Structure 1
Amino acid sequence: MAADFEKFSVKKPREDKREYLGLKLGNQLKLLLVSDPETDISAASLSVHCGSLLDPVSLQGLAHYLEHMCFMGSEKYPSENEYTKIEGPKEYVFEENKRLGFIKFNFMEKSNPMDYVLKLTSSMHYFPFEDILSANILLENYNPQLITEMLSYLTPENCSIAISSKSFEGQTDLKEKYYGTDYKIVEFSKEFLESLRNPAVNANLKFPEPNEFIPTDFEIVKSDSPATETPTVIRDSKILKAWHLKDETYLKPKVFYGIQIVNPIVFATPDNTNANGIFTILFRDFLTEFHYDAKLAGLSFDLFTTHSGMNATLEPGSSYRFETAIDIQKPKVIHTYFQVSFDNLEETARLQLISQLIHESFFDILRTKEQLGYVVFSKIQSSCGVSGVAFIIQSEYSTSYLDGRIEAYIAWAEKYIEKMDDKEFEAEKNSLITKLLKKKKKLINLSVQYWSEITRHENFFKRSEAIADAVKKLNKTEILQFFKLHLSHESAQRKKLSVHIVKSNPEQNALTPTYSAENAVELLPNVQENPGKSSVLIEDYAEFKKRKPLYPIPQPKM
């Protein structure tokens, strides 16, 4: 019996070592198979060609609603998770874009597998298999007639203008059904259309000069210098320390340069700090026009300020709260941080695993179920060798209420870890180890990782590998003990610092959620706070920092 499918070849970049095969089944379902022997994780994507533009007129937002419902579980799976038209087409502009497309396509670096398959499945709706990878990138033949035809559609009659401004208050006559937005639809007047049809020529609107930054030589220069796994020092003097790493992995005609200029006076005073910030902005702005062509050619540049120093030490059993009123933004924010570890690999591994265990459930319980806000997440927070766990919620509700919900979650998470069976615990460990050992897909990603170590003067280039080795040795008992010691509200060793961004109007700070009978939520039980452990309000933040002892600066690891 003949196979009920067709095979298709796919045009791919010349440096792409992956294999591609397009298939169309008898039921017209299109498949794209990608074989990558070097990948460390697999990914799959299914794209259904529909979305918000197909929403029923009477039920706008249905596609978005369905998207969210897909994460809510089901009975079977209950777990959650004009000047141009005058000038006409220019062939040199086309040729420049053709060369840029050639560079982008043929020296394309790998991306995250999930992002890659999502992009490919979307392209399969619009392009034949052969062009799935190259569509929208490669340009073939210069066709000025087609360009002129496209330009002919850029007319005032085909134009719509949307203007959003507070100056229109009281001048609208319609209201959007779902969000209550006031608006008005106005037809263009004949006078306005006529002015658009006959615009004056603006001498400043012109085609750019040819781009001198577009490269033509892509040969990778070979070097006889020995290859190393991590950066090595090639010059070390009183005023300069230079690091170098020979790329033996990505082999693309690309390079990464990082330059750090250290000057102790930059952050010595508030005036210096502000002057440095303004200088950085002005310098970037000054180079914008010059850098534009370089950016089009694939060259990137940035200038930013950094500072390093020492962290204040919180004493065991402490709980501090700092409040500041900001009315320019609508939501309130709470950022609660538990200080845990300093320059300790084993404790960092425990923190990483705890973060792995709680990250998804914190979001699921306090955002999806209790609906406290759109931004809800937990993370590892590290600075100058000091690490801890942070819980962040952006919400319309009282920050005191949010603080209580964070504490309720922590109490729940302790029991959750305690009840976790060995199989599930080991699966979480392996998932974290996989993340830590995941290969960097692009040269820039690896370069930034190493550069971060150099600028922090820690030089721990194999940090992820070392943490992964430490994670392998962890067991549930020690993780639970570590969690109780540093996060439990009953612990005499816990160090808590909470920042509350509130409103100047007290009434706006007292709002708490209400749940209707139709939208009942099973809340986690509140934690009864020990009166002796109530948080201390920080009245003067500068004075608070001045009186706290400091952690030392982490020592280099090589």
Structure 2
Amino acid sequence: MLSPRYWIFLIIVLTAVGYSMIRLSQTPEVISSDADPYSYQYMQLENGLKVLLVNTPDADKASAAMSVSVGSMDDPDGREGLAHFLEHMLFLGTEPYPEPDEYQQFIKQNGGSHNAFTSYAQTTYFFDIDNEQLPGALDRFSPFFISPTFDAAYVDREKNAVNAEYSSNLKEDGRRIYSAQKMAMNPDFGFSHFSTGNLDTLADRENSAIRDELISFYKTHYSSDRMTLVIAGDYELDQLSNWARGLFSDIPQREVHFSRPNVPVFVTDQLPMDMNIEPVKELRQLKFMFPLPEIKTQYAYKPVSLITNLIGHEGEGSILALLKDKGWAESLSAGRGLSTDNASTMSVSIGLTKLGLLHIEEITAIFMHYVDLLKANGIPDYLKKEQALQHEMMFRFQEHGQISNYVTRLSSNMLIFPIEDTIYGDYRTDLASDALLKSYLSNISADNMLRTLVAPGVETDTIDPWYDTPIRIRPSSFNKAIEVADLNQLHLPEANPFIPENLTLNSGEATDIPVLLEQAEGRQVWYYAEHDFEVPKAQVLISLQIPDIQTEGRQRLLAKLYTRAVNEALNTYSYPATLAGLNYRLSATEKGLEVAVGGYYDKLPVLLERVFETMQNVEISDDEFSRYKASLQRNLENNLKARPFQRTVAELKNFLIDPSFSDTDLLPLLSDVTLNDVQAFAAGFDSKLASVTYVHGAMSVEDAQQLGALVSHYYPARIAYPATSRLVHTPKGKYQQEVSQDHPDKVMTLYIQGTGSSDLERAEFGLLAQMISSPYYQYMRTEQQLGYIVFATALPQKSVPALAFIVQSPEASPEKMMEHTDIFFRQYASELKNIDEKEYDLFRQGLITRLLEKPKNMSEKAGTFWGDLITGRYAFDTRESIAEQVATIPHARIINLYQQTIMDADSSWLLYSKGSQDVQVEGFEPLSTLDRAALPRFAHPESPLPTEIIKESSSQ
């Protein structure tokens, strides 16, 4: 039973919500949390463009986003993918900046990033950049919406990039399922159409040139009154306002009336339907989709969110808890699907076991019975108030993440919510009436559903023409009269015991870096009092270092099975904590086991102790073990079906890191693992164990010491810290390795390793990667059209720097990719020498900005410190030290590095996937000719514990 303090707190918070609503009616200003350090100003330009300005004090990055109320559902008939193609084209030149790489080069050069996406109803463009460079970025961004050139040469080339993007997703089950389900929808409903585009849909036709249609589509839909702009930076709001007016007032307001047709998602009387989809990977899913009335106007009440939160609940009495008890399901998720001005959908996805495939009718009956409970009994007020409370706490204590993500969300929200609720709309939850909830619940019925079964070997009779996915669509065969045992186990969740009651800040004395509170052989407890982010939260990170897991593949499998069993045993208990903003994670890592608990700190020790109790007392039945083992095997096999470029990078890391175990290595070991083996592991892994505990947040030193004592009570250190894995030093010579892949695309990954792990060399490689990434992309993707997935990047491993050049293509062979990479290398050698010092300084400052970018929330800050701590960097200065080195690197040194590392390279590895072609890249020997065991390893860099930290912590 919850204490009276909980109900008092609930009343206070909900009263605050009511006050916000009163305030809303008095002023059109954007509502923000009192704890939000940002300032906001809304304005509307004379051309109708809605603009939100955001002052971000002391920010090192600035950002902007533009959302346009047009998406793939607005593609003209027969021109599927046109909206997406248009999104690509706006990056490839404008009248003030006609060069196709100008925008990207400027953003990258100044430490930024950029992207865009096309959804079914919106298209959004965004960037972030060094704060000082915001004016230049806006000057290059605004012409996208005023004067794009649509250069005919690049129109023709970029079709190939769109087609390559389409090809890269042909084996992606998420895309295949998404596309297949559209085939069951009303063909007059715009969402049902193919959305990516390919060479057929974007081809020139008689009396229909694709460039002309692009321009026509742009002039129809890219109208200022259908756009929303957000600009954020560490500038006065008046200055941001001047830039908005000066740069975006010329966006034309088109005199074109546009409205989407009001057609239903499914044809009348089409439902209920059953659909079968055969996946590429070993997937087993049962999906339900229900068409609902529109929900946009009900955003303040969030009725569908409340309903899906209950359907997707994982605690006692839930649908998932009962399905797991029966051994039929592994997971369940529920949520809103699409949402337009006239319609919406709700979706439920259940991850099935093999046994569950035999009980589809019973699973459907259980789901429908739970919905019937909601219809018959209604949703009690305490659950409505809990959701309102949870959302209000999220709003009150929200922490900003990456600024580009934030402004992108805001620009999108401005198309959805009233302006005053641009921020608050995601959280605002007024108490929904029973009548409103019933109006949506009434649409969740067996007579109004698309039921989809995704599994290998299902019966199919036709093919999705876009992704070649085998499917079958039939009238639903669900038997409503089927009887299922144990339906009485279903019930609504009780009041959430993890709702925090204490939200005071208890942080200790401020320090620049974490302090060491306790130190003994094989045991450390570290602490950092958070003062930058004043939220009642904490992060506790615990590394249980177990040498056998690091050195033996079989032990790593046992660790994976053990953590799966513990997580399953904890699920019903911990799920309410997750809803209340308190999460835990238990995972197997290369060092051993890692426990992380984070969120509102009030009930954090309670959850952590329950995690430890379960770890020490977990019980696993024969049936459970069989399911966990089958699930692990399926995951390992599915990993081998990842995208080609991901597979090559994974295999590269597996060869480089010693010891390491690839999915291919682990699969044959799994067959011999028994339940007794896992039970023996659970009982004995702590016999050889060392630990690192890190407490970060609004907790006191005493709180941290108590948590450290809790770790020692359950898992006392018994050994010194074990050695860590090391990186193989690539020998002289050029070597190649094929990575087998069932995918039509071809890929190359060229890896060039540094010679050491000094901060200076890491800085040099990072700076060269910063400089070369945009030109390589421009040459290989935009100019040569060799693929959609193209990038040059820094790829450090175990603190050793490296460069990687990666291309995935539907057409080009690895030989051709490598041939053009060599051509690029020769061309860029002269370009690099000709970069003037002013431009070079911009690259250098851009990298420094990225390295020194401040954490945006407590979790990110804790993760940064933890990264240094777990690798033995006790000065906690990796980024700062590398940034200092970057500032000292002259242009001539980068030219010399390029010559030695790339032009005169005597050591590089090429991993490739050949598709259906026969490949042997000239100049590279087979990697199999190397004796991996005989290759040297890099020493692990580890700094000593600073004595002043030890003294300071001992005095505390």
Same fold at TM > 0.5: yes
- SS of 1:245's equivalent? strand
1:412-441 C-alpha deviation (Å, 9 max, x unpaired): 332221122222211111211111111110
2:937 alignment partner AA: L
CA, structure 1 residues 164+259, in 2 after alignment: closer, same or farther (shift >3 Å)? closer
1:228-250 C-alpha deviation (Å, 9 max, x unpaired): 11112111101311111111211
Query: 1:91·1:142 contact (CA, 8 Å) conserved in 2?
Result: no
Residue 441 of structure 1 is aligned with which of 838, 851, 856?
A: 856
What is the CA-CA distance between 1:395 and the residue it aligns to? Answer: 3.4
Distance 1:150 1:460 in 2: 56
What is the CA-CA distance between 1:487 and the residue it aligns to? Answer: 1.6
* Other-structure match for 1:35: 55
* Other-structure match for 1:321: 736
1:451-494 C-alpha deviation (Å, 9 max, x unpaired): 11111112241221222222122221111001111121x34xx3
1:233 alignment partner AA: L
* Other-structure match for 2:786: 372
What is the CA-CA distance between 1:301 and the residue it aligns to? Answer: 1.9
* Other-structure match for 2:511: 228
CA, structure 1 residues 27+549, in 2 after alignment: closer, same or farther (shift >3 Å)? closer
* Other-structure match for 2:44: 24
Residue 310 of structure 1 is aligned with which of 718, 726, 731?
A: 726
What is the CA-CA distance between 1:305 and the residue it aligns to? Answer: 0.9
Is 1:450 aligned to 2:450, yes or no? no
Query: 2:63·2:407 contact (CA, 8 Å) conserved in 1?
Result: yes
Greater share of residues in helix:
2
Query: 2:375·2:441 contact (CA, 8 Å) conserved in 1?
Result: yes
* Other-structure match for 1:269: 552
Query: 1:350·1:471 contact (CA, 8 Å) conserved in 2?
Result: yes
TM-score (norm 1): 0.84
Percent identity reads 25
CA, structure 1 residues 324+175, in 2 after alignment: closer, same or farther (shift >3 Å)? closer
2:898 alignment partner AA: F
Distance 1:123 1:32 in 2: 11
CA, structure 1 residues 309+155, in 2 after alignment: closer, same or farther (shift >3 Å)? closer
Residue 907 of structure 2 is aligned with which of 495, 508, 524?
A: 495
1:190-214 C-alpha deviation (Å, 9 max, x unpaired): xx48x45999794344322222112
Query: 1:89·1:148 contact (CA, 8 Å) conserved in 2?
Result: no
Distance 1:57 1:161 in 2: 28
Residue 93 of structure 1 is aligned with which of 360, 367, 383?
A: 383
Query: 1:231·1:243 contact (CA, 8 Å) conserved in 2?
Result: yes
How many residue pairs get aligned? The number is: 515
Residue 434 of structure 2 is aligned with which of 144, 158, 172?
A: 144
Distance 2:516 2:827 in 1: 49
- Structure with greater contact order relative to length (CA < 8 Å, sep ≥ 6): 1
Query: 1:319·1:496 contact (CA, 8 Å) conserved in 2?
Result: yes
* Other-structure match for 1:515: none
- The 4+ residue runs of structure 1 with deviation greater than 4 A are 162-170, 178-188, 195-201
Residue 892 of structure 2 is aligned with which of 453, 477, 495?
A: 477
* Other-structure match for 1:64: 84
* Other-structure match for 1:516: none
Query: 1:341·1:388 contact (CA, 8 Å) conserved in 2?
Result: no
CA, structure 1 residues 420+215, in 2 after alignment: closer, same or farther (shift >3 Å)? same
Distance 2:489 2:816 in 1: 56
Distance 2:492 2:446 in 1: 22
Distance 1:153 1:318 in 2: 66
What is the CA-CA distance between 1:443 and the residue it aligns to? Answer: 0.8
Distance 1:175 1:258 in 2: 46
2:66 alignment partner AA: L
1:474 alignment partner AA: I
Residue 537 of structure 1 is aligned with which of 901, 923, 926?
A: 926
Distance 2:55 2:471 in 1: 51
- SS of 1:459's equivalent? coil
1:125-183 C-alpha deviation (Å, 9 max, x unpaired): 222222111113121234222112221222345433455566577623x764x556676
Query: 2:762·2:800 contact (CA, 8 Å) conserved in 1?
Result: no
Deviates more, 1:450-459 or 1:135-144: 135-144
- SS of 1:487's equivalent? helix
Is 1:135 aligned to 2:425, yes or no? yes
1:291-316 C-alpha deviation (Å, 9 max, x unpaired): 2222222222222312432222233x
1:363-421 C-alpha deviation (Å, 9 max, x unpaired): 23223333333332222222223221122233344333333333333333322211222
- SS of 1:352's equivalent? helix
Deviates more, 1:318-327 or 1:345-354: 318-327
What is the CA-CA distance between 1:351 and the residue it aligns to? Answer: 0.8
Root-mean-square deviation (CA, aligned residues, Å) is 2.8
Is 1:508 aligned to 2:917, yes or no? yes
Query: 1:156·1:197 contact (CA, 8 Å) conserved in 2?
Result: no
Is 1:108 aligned to 2:364, yes or no? no
- 5+ unaligned residues in a row in structure 1: which ranges? 1-6, 512-527
TM-score (norm 2): 0.51
Query: 2:44·2:51 contact (CA, 8 Å) conserved in 1?
Result: yes
* Other-structure match for 1:79: 100
Greater share of residues in strand:
2
CA, structure 1 residues 432+180, in 2 after alignment: closer, same or farther (shift >3 Å)? same
What is the CA-CA distance between 1:54 and the residue it aligns to? Answer: 1.4
* Other-structure match for 2:500: 215
What is the CA-CA distance between 1:114 and the residue it aligns to? Answer: 1.8
1:495-551 C-alpha deviation (Å, 9 max, x unpaired): 212223446xxx53459xxxxxxxxxxxxxxxx97xxxx32312267xx22111222
Distance 1:143 1:313 in 2: 66
Deviates more, 1:98-107 or 1:415-424: 415-424
1:245-284 maps to which residues of 2 (within 5 A)?
245-284=528-567
* Other-structure match for 1:514: none
Query: 2:748·2:913 contact (CA, 8 Å) conserved in 1?
Result: yes
Query: 1:13·1:106 contact (CA, 8 Å) conserved in 2?
Result: yes
Distance 2:574 2:788 in 1: 37
1:258-312 C-alpha deviation (Å, 9 max, x unpaired): 1111222223333223323332333333333332222222222222312432222
Query: 1:341·1:348 contact (CA, 8 Å) conserved in 2?
Result: no
What is the CA-CA distance between 1:112 and the residue it aligns to? Answer: 1.8
CA, structure 1 residues 68+181, in 2 after alignment: closer, same or farther (shift >3 Å)? farther
Distance 1:460 1:483 in 2: 31
- SS of 2:400's equivalent? coil
Is 1:203 aligned to 2:488, yes or no? yes
Query: 2:507·2:530 contact (CA, 8 Å) conserved in 1?
Result: no
- SS of 2:807's equivalent? strand
